[in-house]
Amino acid sequence: MVLSIEEIAKHKDESSCWVIIKNEVYDVTEFLLRHPGGPAILLNYGGRDATSAYEPIHSSDAIQRNLSPSQCLGPLKSSDARDLELQEKQRGQTKDEIRVEHAMKQRPPLSRILSLADMEDVARKVLPFSTLSFFSTGSDDEITLQENVRAFERFFFHARVMRPVSKCDPSTKILGYDSSIPVFVSGASTARLGHPLGELNITRGCGNANIIQMVCTFASISKAEIAAAALPSQHLFFQLYKTTNLDSAAKLVREAEELGYKAIFLTVDVAVISTRSRDIKNPWIIEAEEGKTQYYTEGDPDETVNMFGTSTRHASRNYPLDADMSWEVTIPWLRSITKLPIILKGIQCVEDAVLAAEMGVDGILLSNHGGRQLEYSLPPLEVLNKLRRERPDIFYKLEVYIDGGIRRGTDVIKALCLGAKAVGLGRPFMYALSAYGEAGVSKILSILNREIVTAMQLLGAASIKDLTPELVERVDWEPATHRAKL
Amino acid sequence: MVLSIEEIAKHKDESSCWVIIKNEVYDVTEFLLRHPGGPAILLNYGGRDATSAYEPIHSSDAIQRNLSPSQCLGPLKSSDARDLELQEKQRGQTKDEIRVEHAMKQRPPLSRILSLADMEDVARKVLPFSTLSFFSTGSDDEITLQENVRAFERFFFHARVMRPVSKCDPSTKILGYDSSIPVFVSGASTARLGHPLGELNITRGCGNANIIQMVCTFASISKAEIAAAALPSQHLFFQLYKTTNLDSAAKLVREAEELGYKAIFLTVDVAVISTRSRDIKNPWIIEAEEGKTQYYTEGDPDETVNMFGTSTRHASRNYPLDADMSWEVTIPWLRSITKLPIILKGIQCVEDAVLAAEMGVDGILLSNHGGRQLEYSLPPLEVLNKLRRERPDIFYKLEVYIDGGIRRGTDVIKALCLGAKAVGLGRPFMYALSAYGEAGVSKILSILNREIVTAMQLLGAASIKDLTPELVERVDWEPATHRAKL
Amino acid sequence: MVLSIEEIAKHKDESSCWVIIKNEVYDVTEFLLRHPGGPAILLNYGGRDATSAYEPIHSSDAIQRNLSPSQCLGPLKSSDARDLELQEKQRGQTKDEIRVEHAMKQRPPLSRILSLADMEDVARKVLPFSTLSFFSTGSDDEITLQENVRAFERFFFHARVMRPVSKCDPSTKILGYDSSIPVFVSGASTARLGHPLGELNITRGCGNANIIQMVCTFASISKAEIAAAALPSQHLFFQLYKTTNLDSAAKLVREAEELGYKAIFLTVDVAVISTRSRDIKNPWIIEAEEGKTQYYTEGDPDETVNMFGTSTRHASRNYPLDADMSWEVTIPWLRSITKLPIILKGIQCVEDAVLAAEMGVDGILLSNHGGRQLEYSLPPLEVLNKLRRERPDIFYKLEVYIDGGIRRGTDVIKALCLGAKAVGLGRPFMYALSAYGEAGVSKILSILNREIVTAMQLLGAASIKDLTPELVERVDWEPATHRAKL
Amino acid sequence: MVLSIEEIAKHKDESSCWVIIKNEVYDVTEFLLRHPGGPAILLNYGGRDATSAYEPIHSSDAIQRNLSPSQCLGPLKSSDARDLELQEKQRGQTKDEIRVEHAMKQRPPLSRILSLADMEDVARKVLPFSTLSFFSTGSDDEITLQENVRAFERFFFHARVMRPVSKCDPSTKILGYDSSIPVFVSGASTARLGHPLGELNITRGCGNANIIQMVCTFASISKAEIAAAALPSQHLFFQLYKTTNLDSAAKLVREAEELGYKAIFLTVDVAVISTRSRDIKNPWIIEAEEGKTQYYTEGDPDETVNMFGTSTRHASRNYPLDADMSWEVTIPWLRSITKLPIILKGIQCVEDAVLAAEMGVDGILLSNHGGRQLEYSLPPLEVLNKLRRERPDIFYKLEVYIDGGIRRGTDVIKALCLGAKAVGLGRPFMYALSAYGEAGVSKILSILNREIVTAMQLLGAASIKDLTPELVERVDWEPATHRAKL
């Protein structure tokens, strides 16, 4: 059935809601209440073309996973499709689009990116304002976001000299899998907001560098496509956001296992989603720039804003995250449906690290979700340091990782000295792929490799096993800081 | 007796002083020396209309409480009343009034207020400069004002994960009375400086949200009116400033008890009033803006400025606060005149908390009067933390509250983890009602509710009793700070 | 002998050097090498009028103390004297003089000075740049200058409530002499640089307020004149800078004793004079303002600058301070020449406080010379706190005072809680008299009185003896700071 | 053989590469791969005049040390030499050269340089931008660079008074050799970038002041020339960068010994060279100033930048530093080839200090290479303090020095109180000679002398042995800081 713009336009509310995506027409009436992002945004595109909004934030298999064949109504009339294309072309650019286009032309050559901070500088210039807000935001006042980074500044080295280090080997194993440096990609969603190829940039960059990628439930490229893009020798982990729907959750895990993913990282720090003000306020800033500021009038109803900003793209009342997970129930359930190693992502204190060891999980990722969840959660490096001081035995019982705030090779080394098996980075990969695609990902991996090796050599460490707690000291003064941006 | 402007104008000094208030004429000659604000300000309006100055800072029953019927001389001649009205209309607006009027039009919709800081931002823009000074000032250099807030930044969380929190209940009991969240309104005076309905905005907002309001002796709405405006299910506390006049003090307490107030919060941190420089200097800034700066000339007598600025509105030599209260005399006296629970508001150290418990009072409010009294008084959160470390037994003997510096749901949670039964907020309510009246009050209560629930869930706490000391840590570094304003 | 300008002009070098001061001519040839300020500055005025440079920095008895009658050559010819006067009038004002004259007219009324900081603000505006540099400078990078002030910010109060304080008495005794508040004037030199009446402003202001003044060896008013200006009930202390010339030193002490001074404060922290860069650099800034900057040319001899700036006005190679004082010799010597109590001014560590007690001196003034001597000397409040913790017995053996950085009544109270008998202030008095003369001195004493009483009442202290160590706590965080200026 | 520009121009690549230096022609084809700075920069000058690039960064004996006689082809044709000279003259000045020329004329007279900071201010104005970058840079984010300086700000004095100090003697012995103050020149390379006479300025300034100079392997003046310029009474140390070529390393040591150098300082903190971003980025800033910014184009190969900036001038793959030194092999080897005392330069922790003592070396220089090597290496003063607390016995077993961050006499005194025998300064000498040549070097030595003596006198120390640990305290607060620049 070929459908016309006129016909489609009639189906724009809860009674009947159709949308056009890439010149195909879909009936989403029934789906409205199941839409992870909530019905409102879908209704906003009811009866018209939703392609530009849909594309960057859905994985390629989103439609077939969610709609039945009967809900796929058929193609848009081809003359109408041409009209749509023309309209899109004629639509004027927004101020922000103009700014981005200009900034893309002024990117420095890759050879001039010397550090992850340099890469972030470029990304901050070339990213659309809304995407930058989404990538860079933290919760509440972004204290934890900042403290994650600042924690590393408190740890100094006791460098050892006169040790043979010309043959310095930074490689290690993570859950038994080779990794060229003790670094992996921590899960982050919706990379296509930053680059059309989304998470595939990471997959390809990591394949070349022999680095493990953790793929998020809410990746904007399906985990199958990512698996397909990976090299035969390349390893992937799967980051699970568990929903209350057990079947649906189990299906995700089994798919990952079948696709060859090597571990399940169960997200445990998102019982609910925190308020990320920067992300919420961003559209109002854009609005003000365009001279459309709204004002209060007496008696205004307080139509409470969606508190979760761009985050609702992947979780909302319609995609219920399980806020009732428990040690007693959730872990045995997960063990029962997969043979893969289970790692808890989002452990935030020593007590839970100990519990995790007692429950026999394979690893824990000390993380506060990059400062995007509980404000004033202790920085992961501080939790790691406490674990080292209070329960050094735990490091023999499971693998301990951290993520959050790592920006330099010296940061990596500090975590490893304190007992981390490896460290995860999230935002830096989003920035790198947004700025230069796959080449950006390769670049920051190469920078990290260089920085790690240099730091090891100057510390007198020829291999990862030489990185011991005695090499670091948590100083009791307030160190100089250089990191203005986060 | 109908009186004319001409006649009234003759009575303008200590020998005979009449004033017009809302077109009624009063003889305040005898009252001059009893006026809580001192005689000078009254004399300033001697022989003329005092309505605009009188209105916002007196409760509606102020006249009948203070003047005898014979001192109420009768109405102003109606043609003169019309003239007054006309004059008031024709008087040009001051620069500050123009600024305020403009700012009121540019308030954002309530849905864009995401935090108490956002609300304060609006209030700072729409409040008259003098009222803002009075509301926001602290004593001396405002160190304690700042430290109250900064204290919260030193406490971080040990979040627990994998605990069922979908059904999170933030409600509690305060002195046995239900409260939807562990928050109450701490006493603050003269709300009508910020909004014509004054404290009633709080009463109504709290009624809807099931929050307890503490009503100040110096509220600009009488405690009877407030009681009348409350819902049947709603609870009120009374904040007593004890004067040296025992009868007058006892009368206030008995009135409160009869009006159904549920507790007496005895103010103990105002033996005398501290110097609040910002409030004192404010008129000089206004003066300078209007090009009327005064200069020193040799031999100038130093006519010492009123050191207490706007504060004299409610306390001065003519309204003597009792600077000689004592544990041995004052508490038994108060017990003897009321059956209500007695809470000491303004405890500032562990030693006095212990004394209070030994004296058998029902509760203590750890407070330094919002940084408006003793400069360099320890922040209440620090006192709470010391009490928790040094005398955890005290929490079983009486209820402990704190106020001062609380601006976020996480702040509330920190105090509760350390043992506070509930926390009080003062200035945030003044800002909220000044910016949006009752709707503003409702808004910040709704924000606090959301922030408290989110923080509890992410901490792994399903109810208030799950908030334990182990969940917080006082860090030993200087955390990032975001709070530029106070 | 009446002398003419022409005749005098011939005597302008080492072979014969005459100067005119207040129309009298003096032969200073022999005196050149004895001049405390060194010969260079005297030679600069050789053969001409030196009155304007001489006046503000010499006490009125300087000439008769230093020159023999035969060196006083006689009066200047009266027509020449008139010419000089005319020239002085016609000399154009410098930029700085114009600035000062303008600033003097814009001083606020005294009633608007609410704090010592407000007073300093005025002084900084009305003082000639060179005098401000001299008064405000510290040594090297002025770290100790700043830390003296900042130390007070680390001490917070444990306020006690419910204590009768309506009758609060801030008076005390210093070495047995009454003082209306626990404050005295610490020695500072050359007050006439700030006001023509110099130290007499302090004498008169203190007389009225019953405060003890310490008079410096290098005061710009003679100690006899100061004694003469004092009220019968008023007490004075003498600050001795001991020279290597024992007779000369003993003479100063005996004179003080005969004039009724009540104690000798022996300066022990000026073995040599430290480098005070701001004071040295000041003339170059003036020079640059006037477009007379000097540049280096290759081969320039490095004519080393006088490292001690304005300080050489009172001490140099020609006025040898005793750098070889010792506990064993100096204290017995001083005891042998006076019956007055002996206090060591400039004790900087616990060890020397203990030694002083063992040597039986009557008191110690913990001081680092207001940050003008040893850079990185520990702030006096910190030394006091250490003394309290480590050797509380010392406070029973002698009186302990501190000076340096005290600007608020709460600062005074903190020092007293820790055991100081009284505190000295130096710069605040120089600023006060520079801004308003005697009225300024009275004003800051009245401010201090008010601040001390208010702080005592809010602390629950009705008298000085109630100020105990338990009332203060040295906090372990970095407090907010408000004091931008020093 | 006389050669023409035309002939030479043909030899410009790897197959045959000739360069002109000071009108002599050299065949560097064979040398390309041995060139310490790598082949690229040599090829850049292939076939043409390289004098201006060669001169400032090579010692005078560089050619005869590296090229065989047959590689010295002969003189440039004299008419061509004149042409070259003319061209050089006609070449327009760059913006930076113009700025420098102007700044040189505006240097203040030496008498106005009061501190090492003043000297650095001048140097920062008169140095070419690229040289300033090279001299002032640190590694990564320059945290360690800053912390080295800030460490001194945490140590305060317990000054002792009433001790005879008029005869204060700051002289000491270093490895048995007299030194007028406990200061030596720490090795730094390539002084000719700052002044045509390079390190000779230091040699001459130190000779006059009786200060020991450490001469770097990479000095831009040969160690023979420096030895020749030294006074008979003057002492020199040699700083060895050990290459993997044992013969070459041994030759350097023997030459030094034969030239009369008194000790070998073996560099142990440069297993590899760290990334010094400021130095690397500097040319891009110059480029941008000249409007020649480069941009990224899709598919650009990432020609990785030389990570070591100006540093490659003295170390690279072609001049292999020994990254495999060890306690067991290297120290015995060094002992076997020289009788000179051996000092390890670059010890960064207590453990290695202890090892050094056990290995019997004669001294250790606690240093992190001025913040140019391992980022987050602990500041040397902190290492010294730890050594003092944990292993005070070590100070009796070998001499301990520190360098890094010393800018004031009080810094020197702090290090000596904690047990350092002497302290090294590096950058200050580079700044001094860049600003004023030898006169600058003399000036800062004279400033240090004055500051050290003043501090000793005010501390109550008449000689170096009086500087004991009790005189310093490491404070637990964050001190005021004055040092904006590094």
pLDDT by position in tens, chain D (length 486): 788 989 999 998 888 999 898 888 999 888 887 776 677 778 888 888 888 888 777 777 788 778 888 888 989 898 888 888 888 777 778 888 899 999 999 999 999 999 999 999 999 999 999 899 999 999 999 999 999 999 999 999 999 999 999 999 999 999 999 999 999 999 887 899 999 999 999 999 999 999 999 999 989 899 999 999 999 999 999 999 999 999 999 999 999 999 999 999 999 999 999 999 888 998 888 888 888 888 998 878 787 776 666 554 444 445 689 999 999 999 999 999 999 999 999 999 999 999 999 999 999 999 999 999 999 999 999 999 999 999 999 999 999 999 999 999 999 999 999 999 999 999 999 999 999 999 999 999 999 999 999 999 999 999 999 999 999 999 999 998 865 433
Q: Which of B90, B106, B138 is the last residue of a domain?
A: B90
C-alpha span between C51 and C311 (Å, rounded): 19
Q: Is residue B168 part of a domain?
A: yes
Q: Which of D37, D55, D90 is the last residue of a domain?
A: D90
Q: Are residues C156 and B368, on separate chains, in Cβ contact within 8 Å?
A: no
Both tokens assigned to B26: 């009063």
Please report all neighbours of B, defined by 3+ CB atom pairs within 8 A: A, C
Q: Is residue C301 part of a domain?
A: no
Q: Which of A26, A241, A261, A401 is catalytic?
A: A241
Nearest to B40 by CA among B312, B250, B245: B312
Query: Is any Cβ of chain B less than 8 angstroms from the Cβ of C483?
Result: yes
> CA-CA-CA-CA torsion for D410, D415, D416, D420, nearest 10 degrees?
-160
Query: Is any Cβ of chain D less than 8 angstroms from the Cβ of A95?
Result: no
C-alpha span between D363 and D424 (Å, rounded): 13
Cβ pair C414, C473 in contact under 8 A? no
- Mean pLDDT for C309-333 is 76
C-alpha span between C261 and D417 (Å, rounded): 41
Query: Is any Cβ of chain C less than 8 angstroms from the Cβ of B476?
Result: yes
Please, where are the H alpha helices in B180-329? 200-209, 223-229, 246-258, 277-289
Interface of C with D in 288-307 (CB under 8 A): 294-296, 300, 302-305, 307
Cβ pair D212, D171 in contact under 8 A? no
In the block, residue with structure tokens 């003369």: C437
Confidence of residue B432 (pLDDT cuts 50, 70, 90): very high
| pLDDT one-digit tens code per residue, A236-273 | 999 999 999 999 999 999 999 999 999 999 999 999 99
Beta strands B422-425 and B183-185, pairing class? parallel
A235/A136 same-domain check: yes
C-alpha A341 chain-centroid distance: 21
* Chain D residues inside the 8 Å CB shell of A476: 476
Both tokens assigned to B284: 């000089």
* Chain C residues inside the 8 Å CB shell of D166: 271, 323-324
Query: Which 3 state secondary structure label does DSSP give C210?
Result: coil
| pLDDT one-digit tens code per residue, C204-222 | 999 999 999 999 998 989 9
Count of C-beta atoms within a 10 Å radius of residue B197: 18
Of D294, D351, D352, the CB nearest to A108: D294
- Residue D174: beta bridge partners? D177
Q: Is A241 a catalytic residue?
A: yes
Q: State which residues form the domain around D423.
A: 117-275+311-474
* Chain A residues inside the 8 Å CB shell of B126: none
Query: Is any Cβ of chain B less than 8 angstroms from the Cβ of C232?
Result: no
DSSP state string for D87-153: HHHHSPPPHHHHHHHHHHHTPPPGGG--SHHHHHHHHHHHS-HHHHHHHH--STTSHHHHHHHHHHH
Size of interface C-D (CB pairs under 8 A): 143
Cβ pair B197, B60 in contact under 8 A? no
C240: closest CA of chain D, how far (Å): 14
C-alpha span between C287 and D315 (Å, rounded): 48
A421: closest CA of chain B, how far (Å): 22
Confidence of residue B310 (pLDDT cuts 50, 70, 90): low
Q: Are residues A160 and D305, on separate chains, in Cβ contact within 8 Å?
A: no
Cβ pair C348, C377 in contact under 8 A? yes
C-alpha span between D457 and A216 (Å, rounded): 67
| Number of domains observed in the structure of chain D | 2
C145: closest CA of chain B, how far (Å): 20
C-alpha C386 chain-centroid distance: 26
C-alpha distances in Å from residue B215, one per residue of A277, B188, B262, C450: 33, 8, 11, 31
C-alpha span between A460 and D355 (Å, rounded): 14
Nearest to D453 by CA among D443, D442, D464, D444: D464
Q: Is residue C302 part of a domain?
A: no
Cβ pair D243, D250 in contact under 8 A? no
B56/B187 same-domain check: no
Of D106, D115, D451, the CB nearest to C295: D106
Query: Is any Cβ of chain C less than 8 angstroms from the Cβ of D473?
Result: yes
Query: Is any Cβ of chain C less than 8 angstroms from the Cβ of B150?
Result: yes
D30/D158 same-domain check: no
Which residues does C5 contact at the CB level (< 8 Å), separation at least 6?
A: C76, C77, C80, C83, C84
**Residue A51, domain CATH:** 3.10.120.10
3-state secondary structure A145-156: HHHHHHHHHCEE
C266/C123 same-domain check: yes
- Mean pLDDT for B218-244 is 95
Q: Is residue A108 part of a domain?
A: no
Q: Which of A27, A55, A90 is the last residue of a domain?
A: A90
ipTM associated with this complex: 0.91
Both tokens assigned to C335: 């005891």
B123/B83 same-domain check: no
**What pLDDT is stored for residue C287 in this prediction?**
84
Residue type, position D222, single letter: S
Count of C-beta atoms within a 10 Å radius of residue A466: 18
Query: What is the chain D residue with the closest CA to C279?
Result: D114
Q: Are residues D161 and C268, on separate chains, in Cβ contact within 8 Å?
A: yes
Which residues does C29 contact at the CB level (< 8 Å), separation at least 6?
A: C11, C14, C15, C16, C17, C18
Q: Is residue D295 part of a domain?
A: no
* Chain C residues inside the 8 Å CB shell of B280: 114
Count of C-beta atoms within a 10 Å radius of residue A101: 11
Phi, psi for B188 (deg, rounded to 5): -150, 145
The sign one gets for the Cα dihedral B173, B179, B183, B185 is: negative
| pLDDT one-digit tens code per residue, C52-87 | 888 777 777 788 778 888 888 989 898 888 888 888
**What pLDDT is stored for residue B485 in this prediction?**
38
D60/D139 same-domain check: no
Which residues does C87 contact at the CB level (< 8 Å), separation at least 6?
A: none
C125/C81 same-domain check: no
| pLDDT one-digit tens code per residue, B91-130 | 778 888 899 999 999 999 999 999 999 999 999 999 999 8
Interface of D with C in 98-117 (CB under 8 A): 105-112, 114-115, 117
**What pLDDT is stored for residue C239 in this prediction?**
97
C409-417 and C438-459 are packed helices; what angle lies between their axes, rounded to 10 degrees? 50
Q: Is residue A101 part of a domain?
A: no
Of B414, B450, B455, the CB nearest to A374: B455
B318/B440 same-domain check: yes
Q: Is residue D62 part of a domain?
A: yes
Confidence of residue A37 (pLDDT cuts 50, 70, 90): low
* Chain A residues inside the 8 Å CB shell of B454: 272, 274-275
**What pLDDT is stored for residue A86 in this prediction?**
83
Nearest to D72 by CA among D132, D31, D111: D31
Q: Which H/E stretch holds residue B16?
A: strand B16-21
Query: Is any Cβ of chain D less than 8 angstroms from the Cβ of C268?
Result: yes
Residue numbers of B annotated as active site: 241, 269, 369
C-alpha span between C3 and C12 (Å, rounded): 15
D122/D64 same-domain check: no
**What pLDDT is stored for residue C486 in this prediction?**
34
Could you give the percent of chain C with pLDDT greater than 70?
A: 95
Q: Is residue C444 part of a domain?
A: yes
| pLDDT one-digit tens code per residue, C27-40 | 988 888 777 667 77
Q: Which of A49, A54, A58, A269 is catalytic?
A: A269
Which residues does B82 contact at the CB level (< 8 Å), separation at least 6?
A: none
Q: Which of D195, D235, D314, D369 is catalytic?
A: D369
Q: Which of D269, D279, D403, D466 is catalytic?
A: D269
C-alpha span between D95 and D87 (Å, rounded): 18
A374/A320 same-domain check: yes
Interface of A with D in 435-454 (CB under 8 A): 436, 439, 442-443, 446, 450-451, 454
Longest dimension (CA), chain B: 79
Q: Are residues D162 and C304, on separate chains, in Cβ contact within 8 Å?
A: no
- Residue D237: beta bridge partners? D214
| A32, pLDDT greater than 50 | yes
- Residue A265: beta bridge partners? A239, A343
pTM, two decimals, is: 0.92
Across chain C, mean pLDDT equals 91
C-alpha D162 chain-centroid distance: 41
A378: closest CA of chain D, how far (Å): 22
A295: closest CA of chain B, how far (Å): 5
D204/D338 same-domain check: yes
Q: Are residues D446 and C304, on separate chains, in Cβ contact within 8 Å?
A: yes
User: Taking phi first (over 0 means left), then psi (-120 to 50 degrees means alpha), and beta for anything else, what does residue A411 get?
Assistant: alpha
D267/D387 same-domain check: yes
To 5 degrees, how large is the angle CA D255–CA D201–CA D109?
Answer: 170
Which residues does B305 contact at the CB level (< 8 Å), separation at least 6?
A: B280, C111, C112, C114
